[in-house]
């Protein structure tokens, strides 16, 4: 057994006993990479990843092609890191479940933010609610630039009707880093609200997400 093998086993045993409590960010990355890079000293590679991307979450959110550019990281290791970020997002979504009542902007934000975690594209979600504001469905509707506002609104309404929604919430992310609604956001919200009203469905809120933060347009009286 080499000195590196002994270090790996000590790291794994430490994790089995205490979880990741007490691990530095680079150590958590190092531990994960053991399962993609079976030989050698991974510590310098883990440090390089943190130094290059800035933080653990930034490493796990990075595109595979960017991760693979780091010296010592091949396609397998890059894929494992990216997969870990996606699994974290899925885990957060799974924990929220669907049987939840969204009767305040805070609850809406806490529910919807995990759906956007780690996304690198602008994405629009719709949340369908029953008469008691219980979630009945949540679905990604659009990704990237929507070319036709009319198609955008029509598809939202069609989906809400197909799910027998009484109330709906729409949400999208700003990858620019600011969650404040733009003029286009306000105009789109008004179009969506009017379209839903025409079929007797109430638009409860429009949430704008950035990172782990969010803004409620209902709370800002933009509805």
* pLDDT computed for residue 98 by the predictor: 59
Which 3 state secondary structure label does DSSP give 170? strand
Are both 78 and 177 inside the same structural domain? no
pLDDT tens-place string over residues 3-51: 566 889 999 999 998 898 889 999 999 999 999 998 888 999 999 999 9
Looking at the structure of the chain, the number of domains it has is: 2
The residues, any chain, with a CB within 8 Å of residue 203's CB and separated by 6 or more, are 167, 168, 169, 170, 189, 192, 193, 196, 197, 223
* Structural domain range at position 103: 97-216
Alpha-carbon span 221 to 217, nearest angstrom: 6
Are both 108 and 204 inside the same structural domain? yes
* pLDDT computed for residue 158 by the predictor: 95
In a domain, 223, yes or no: no
Q: Which of 47, 70, 93 is the last residue of a domain?
A: 93
Q: Which of 93, 112, 137 is the last residue of a domain?
A: 93
Are both 110 and 152 inside the same structural domain? yes
Question: Alpha helix (H) ranges present in the chain?
Answer: 3-18, 25-33, 43-53, 56-61, 64-67, 75-96, 105-116, 149-162, 183-198
Q: Which of 46, 78, 93 is the last residue of a domain?
A: 93
* pLDDT computed for residue 211 by the predictor: 79
Rg of the chain over Cα atoms, rounded to whole angstroms, equals 21
Are both 56 and 68 inside the same structural domain? yes
Are both 14 and 75 inside the same structural domain? yes
In a domain, 163, yes or no: yes
Are both 111 and 206 inside the same structural domain? yes
In a domain, 221, yes or no: no
Alpha-carbon span 55 to 46, nearest angstrom: 11
> What is the pTM for the complete model shown?
0.70
Residues with pLDDT less than 70, the chain: 1-5, 96-99, 145-151
Alpha-carbon span 44 to 4, nearest angstrom: 12
* pLDDT computed for residue 2 by the predictor: 56
Are both 82 and 114 inside the same structural domain? no
* pLDDT computed for residue 147 by the predictor: 44
Task: Residue 79: give its domain's CATH number.
Answer: 1.10.150
Task: Residue 160: give its domain's CATH number.
Answer: 3.40.140.10
In a domain, 40, yes or no: yes
Are both 64 and 107 inside the same structural domain? no
């Amino acid at each position: 057994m080499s000195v590196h093998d002994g270090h790996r086993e000590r790291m794994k045993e430490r994790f089995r006993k205490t979880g990741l409590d007490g691990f530095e960010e680079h150590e958590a990355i190092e531990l994960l990479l053991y399962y993609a890079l079976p030989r050698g000293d991974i510590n310098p590679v883990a440090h390089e990843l943190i130094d290059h991307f800035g933080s653990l979450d930034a490493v796990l959110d990075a595109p595979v092609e960017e991760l693979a550019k780091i010296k010592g990281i091949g396609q397998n290791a890059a894929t494992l890191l990216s997969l870990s970020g996606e699994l974290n997002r899925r885990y957060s979504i799974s924990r929220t479940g669907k049987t939840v009542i969204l009767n305040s902007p805070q609850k809406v934000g806490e529910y919807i933010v995990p759906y956007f975690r780690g996304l690198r594209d602008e994405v629009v979600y719709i949340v369908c609610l029953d008469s008691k504001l219980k979630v009945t469905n949540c679905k990604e509707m659009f990704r990237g630039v929507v070319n036709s506002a009319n198609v955008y609104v029509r598809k939202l309404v069609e989906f809400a009707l197909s799910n027998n929604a009484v109330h709906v919430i729409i949400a999208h992310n700003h990858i620019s880093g600011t969650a404040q609604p733009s003029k286009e956001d306000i105009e789109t919200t008004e179009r969506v609200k009017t379209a839903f009203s025409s079929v007797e469905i109430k638009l409860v809120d429009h949430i704008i997400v950035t990172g782990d933060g969010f803004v409620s347009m209902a709370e800002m009286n933009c509805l």
